[in-house]
Amino acid sequence: MNAAVGASAAGIAFVIILAVLVGTVRPRRYATVAEFYVAARVVRPWWNGAAISSEFTSAAVCLGLAGLIATHGASMLWYPAGAAAGYVVILALVVAPLRRSGTYTLPDFAQWRLGSTALRRFATCHVLVIGLLYLVAQLHAAGLVIHLLTGLPHGAGWLMVALVSVVVALAGGMGSVTSVQAVQYWLKLIVFTGVGVVLWCAWRCGGVTGPPEVAGFAVPAAAESIAGAGDTSLPGVLTVLLACALGTMGLPHIIVRVYTNPDGRSARRSIVATQVLLGLFFLLLPLYGILGRVHVPGAHEDEIVLMLPGKMLPGLAGDVLTGLLAAGAFAAFLATSCGVLAAVGGAVSACVTRPSVGAFRVAVAMIMGAALTLTSLTTPGSSVLLVILGFSLSAATFCPLLLLGIWWRRLTAPGVAAGFAVGGGLTVVLVAGDLVGVYLGVVSRYPAPFAVPLSFAVMMLISLVTPGRVPLGVDRMMAVMHLPEDLAGPSEDRSSLGDGRSSS
């Protein structure tokens, strides 16, 4: 075993041990399933913001996005702007009304707002699909990283991430997941900042030489693209910006965070904290993108960041820096995987059986099993592509549900179901057709600008022609969501998770 492999193994082992200790040692005991799922609403805003930032800075951000900047040029710098815009939309239009609704999951909100159990099940299916896309992206990236750094089979990386994520999620629910994610955010920020500064100083101070000319920073359009991801053209960039700005609110592992705070004001502060902390992390992406473009040209997007230390500083210094980056990358895989498992597990378990901690734990194990199966049946690709596809599906389904459900009283269950079928179905059909060679022109390459407006239009049109399906208590619901907490009355738990009792 050479020094680079040993340092990488040590870094990964450190992250695993840290995650297990933080997530499983003396986990909090909860009186109800609802408390288990939302950490008893006692998470502080900045701690919650660190956890949200941690699960958002997944493999696609830490490795894939920096790789895209290195490979495809400066136009990829717009991608973080899409994520920032997504949190602005959440803060302005979603977080306070959704927090006041008292529902913990997106399917719960659909049932409470529109009075349809069938719609809740339909929404749960979409939550599961988006969650699996995220998990498969993390597992593939983990396998690629483990193979690159240690030579172990890709399956070893999948199993490491899967086992630790399941252990943390099962140990203490959202409380354990939040603690692990918050700690891992600061670990990632320190590691990627420190290593990036060392590599940049080594290059600019003359210790490392690179190609004499890197001006212009422009390359041809990406050959591999899903839903606009990796496309350097203006339509491609705008497609991804739209998907990120409108899709962030529908990511199950993000939106559930508004309930882990004690009240709506704390939830809003959590989103503000998230914007600040993500902004700090996003400053590092151009740094690694430039270094990768100069020193690791032609490498796989998810490998560029991890290859930099060995290419720029061969020897002991490069090996140590590689081990640190391995720790940061593995923390990224775990943070996102834990959050997705907890959020999707809660939504699925509440939909298919009587709410209980036991049902939640079974759902978590089954979801990870499904993710491992899908990972083994698919070939590794760019993690960014799968994540952008998840954003696109969310933008075409849950974004219209949330915005119209919160701000338009005439929305009906048939309208939402039709919008989900049209918007989500069109996105999947266009992306699948593009992958197998069935090309429908600009619509296939850039689905979000077509699917999202169409979903909004279908939801509104079908709702207008089914006025008899408007819920009877819609005025009361709108008042609950839009009046301040002190005027609307005491907070009420309307989640499907509220009736069960914890056995932990």
Q: Which residue has the higher pLDDT, 328 or 173?
A: 328
pLDDT digits (tens, 9 = 90+) for 235-272: 888 888 888 889 988 888 887 777 777 777 788 888 89
Cα–Cα nearest to 114, from 100, 129, 101: 101
Whether the per-residue pLDDT at 363 is higher than 80: the answer is yes
Instruction: Examine residue 373 and state whether it is found in any structural domain, yes or no.
Output: yes
pLDDT digits (tens, 9 = 90+) for 451-495: 999 999 999 999 999 999 999 889 999 998 888 766 655 455 555
Instruction: Examine residue 433 and state whether it is found in any structural domain, yes or no.
Output: no
pLDDT digits (tens, 9 = 90+) for 3-36: 778 888 888 888 888 888 887 765 566 656 666 6
Instruction: Examine residue 166 and state whether it is found in any structural domain, yes or no.
Output: yes
Cα–Cα nearest to 137, from 65, 32, 220: 65
Instruction: Examine residue 290 and state whether it is found in any structural domain, yes or no.
Output: yes
Q: Which residue has the higher pLDDT, 491 or 110?
A: 110
Instruction: Examine residue 496 and state whether it is found in any structural domain, yes or no.
Output: no
CA distance 65 to 286: 9
Query: What's the domain range around 263?
Result: 3-210+219-382
CATH of the domain at 233: 1.20.1730.10
- H/E run at residue 228: none
- Mean pLDDT in residue range 307-336: 88
Q: How many residues can be counted in the chain?
A: 504
Prediction pTM value: 0.85
Q: End-to-end alpha-carbon separation of the chain, Å? A: 43
Q: Burial, 467: exposed, middle or buried (Cβ in 10 Å; 0-12, 13-18, 19+)?
A: exposed
Structural domain count of the chain: 1
Instruction: Examine residue 138 and state whether it is found in any structural domain, yes or no.
Output: yes
Instruction: Examine residue 456 and state whether it is found in any structural domain, yes or no.
Output: no
Three-class SS state of 302 = coil
Instruction: Examine residue 486 and state whether it is found in any structural domain, yes or no.
Output: no
CA distance 136 to 413: 31
pLDDT digits (tens, 9 = 90+) for 162-205: 888 888 777 766 777 888 888 999 999 999 999 999 999 988 88
